[in-house]
Structure 1
Amino acid sequence: MPRRLLRYSELDLSAWDTCVNQAEQVVPYAQSWWLQATAGRWDAVVEIGMKGEYLAVLPLPVKRRPWGREVYQPPFTQQLGAIGVAQPGSVFPYWLNVMSPIGKLAESYGKLYTQLNDSNGLPQRLANSYDEILTYERRITYHLPLTPSYTTLHAGYAADYRRRLRVNAEAAQPLAVTATSNAEPLLTLFQQTKGPAAGLGRTHYAQLRQLIAAGQQHKQVTLLEVRHPETGELLAGALFVLFRTRLVYLFAAASEAGKKASAPLLLLDAAIQQHAGTPGLVLDFEGGMIPSIARFFANFGAAPVPYAALSFTQRPWYLQWLR
């Protein structure tokens, strides 16, 4: 099967989305509308079938730098990597195991950083010239299968989480989770709380707004919030994306009052309750590299799942003498 490195202008986006929608790997971030919102343009290594269909793709979001084209991981895009369906005679599923195709991209790009999807597994190194420039990092996310009933999933929560949920349910004015279509209050709350530490600028928020709008158009986005029953103050909000068999906890924020009232717990519990009992569906908490956050996810019964980040850096020719 022919395998080609294509520029954005050469990509058939209809064939691209068909491939992503049918692939063995479930990667919402690889949908063309998602990449258009977060990266704008991207190159890709594509395996093309006999009828011009895309059998597999490897997205490569690019930026132009003085030293050349650079592959990077766009914001709000946790995983990309190899995506496709194994075909007789296809070598694509083995690319990431030998890592050679990633290394060969050094011939086209001055710098590369990409996070593979968790279905790609952790790559194995071979004794070849590409190992000299490739760096591999093991990263962690957390998954919770939602196939079991809510009763079963709830029983898997940490005892303290079950107690907090019970206390809220028995309160005179329990906090309630409601759906909304307006993301602006959530973005404002994030800017007021996590924003400065997260280092997000105007461009990032513009990309996120575009991503949310596109996700709503494709009916994949759910926005939930918890407000104070008397004042209407937003205590916490969360953005979930549902794509095929993956529910992604993409973005969230909570005020100090919301944290004390366990509002983030209520949001996740509501999403779990809504989707519990769905065969094959997995909740991806989309994080876990920070120990405190990992504990928060694990207390829902979620388990750590590894995925890989690959990178290389080629100095421009006039800096090759540096050691």
Structure 2
Amino acid sequence: MKQWLNRLIGKPSVDWPYPFVEGKQFVLTITAGLEGYHVSVDGRHVTSFPYRTGYNLEDAMELSLKGDLDVESVVASYLPSSPPSFASQSYLEMSEQWKASPLPTEPVELFVGILSAASHFAERMAVRKSWMISTKKTPNVVARFFVALSGKNEINEELKKEAKYFGDIVIVPFMDNYDLVVLKTIAIVEYGVKVVPAKHIMKCDDDTFVRIESVLDQIKKVQSGKSMYVGNINYYHRPLRSGKWSVTYEEWPEEVYPPYANGPGYVISSDIAQYILSEFDNEALRLFKMEDVSMGMWVEKFSTTRQPVEYLHDVRFYQPGCFDGYFTAHYQSPQHMICLWRKLQAGSAQCCNVR
């Protein structure tokens, strides 16, 4: 464990004990994210497991636990037996206040692309009712969800209705798959270059809570006109060659990854975005299944072939979950999203441990 932790760059200190203690009760939460299952204990993220190839989350029928555990109670949420009705108030709040504002006619300071999955209705509503409100109050910031198609037609029909009503979803024309997440990132880049011209483009996930004003403050730290890459930067990370998240030598022959910002929240300047889009259009862009590593690879190539890039590293773009003073908090459930927003409105950037 220590050896793994030492590979993390710029992390805060980890001082809590291993969460499972004999004789002590704990709350274990399993959530379904973009790339797999995420496991938290008492509000702290512990580990993640990817979905198997070809797996559709909607096909899950049961959950089993093995081991010497005494289960006191089980609470399940967001597990419909069939796609919920779009007209249901408990499913989507049909309110004008959650609709997206019209796109500005002038370039903006920041465009935020949010990766989401077709079935993540609750996650998108939580984002709309929390930190996305900040983008409406700030005229130079625009945010949109980017969603690929589901393997189930009924899910896609509900997604299209949701997109038409709220006006904040960009549906990318391919089936959702972990290996294709990188194409969603390219779609975000294209939107931030061609549709909503932005000085800076941010990518995040639908389980990431974003403090928009704090992100804008970080951007302002970089001298105007300079190429920039902002986030929680990893240096000298090595590919895992075995296990669930393994990468083959055919996929990545190099021994280390280029410096890259953690995927749940990072920002690039518009010149880098334009370069990425140009390389993609010319079929010269190298694609890798891990989208955050891909971005690091593209930024590195831009820096060596075009002009130097200023890497702005800050651990407050936090990957493992949430800590007080965050800029972005990852692995946040819809319930936590609302809680974080309420705390932020009260003037406190503190984490939530909602049970």
| Fold match by TM threshold 0.5 | no
Q: Greater relative contact order (Cα 8 A, min sep 6): structure 1 or 2? A: 1
Give the TM-score taking structure 1 as reference length: 0.24
TM-score by length of 2: 0.22
Larger Rg computed on CA atoms: 1
Q: Which has the higher helix share?
A: 1
